Amino acid sequence: SRGIGRAAAVALAQAGWHVVAVARAQKALEALDDTVRSETGKGLTLVPLDLKDGDSIDALAVVLFERFGRLDGLCHAAAVLGLLTPVTHADPKMLADVFAMNTMASFRLIRAMDPLLRRADPPGRAVFFTSGAAQAPRAYWAPYAASKAAQEAIVRAYAEEVAFTGVRVNLLSPGPVRTRMRADAFPGEDPMSLPPPEAIAPLVLELLDPGLTR
């Protein structure tokens, strides 16, 4: 409903995809739908859902199967930064919250949506957003960096496991982008010096292209 996820949803809808948009904020989803309708004449399927709720992800997969029978593409752009703090000061509840969104949501989406991706013809594609912090953790970034490193391990393993099926899975590290999370991480940075989320949308379109072989 905001940031890179919103930009990707708009770009996919403009490219002719029927987008199932998932976010916690109902009003923000409705605003996204208004934008897409004004530009394309077609609406989205809106799903107010907290991705930290794995059971709701399972329930969504059932609904998608009943309504569409398949899933052509999956784009997981949601993430939380958590507090930038020394490891010794990290609150366990905060750490669990960061892992719930950045790691476990990816796992639950893979677990729930894999059968639908396999049913697509050609087989579906999935894109998971990661960060350079996963490979190069820095001081005070342990919760976020660790959660993204764990996410990368899960996604890379899944990509190898489904390679024979034709399902294609990619990690996308967008670099610095003008988002709210970036502003929280670097409050002194001039946001106008960064590319907007819309600059990343073409990469999502490319990686979800069913004709792409990698």
Residue 14 to residue 186: CA distance in whole angstroms:
32
185 burial level (CB within 10 Å; 0-12, 13-18, 19+): middle
Is 144 known to be catalytic?
Answer: yes
Number of H helices, E strands in the chain: 8, 5
Residue 29 to residue 10: CA distance in whole angstroms:
11
CA distances 122 to 9, 117, 126, Å, are: 21, 9, 13
For helices 142-161 and 92-99, the axis angle rounded to 10 degrees is 30
Q: Of 200, 206, 170, which is closest to residue 7 (Cα–Cα)?
A: 200
82 burial level (CB within 10 Å; 0-12, 13-18, 19+): buried
Q: Which of 99, 129, 144, 158 is catalytic?
A: 144
* C-alpha of 182 from chain center: 16
The residues assigned a catalytic role are: 144
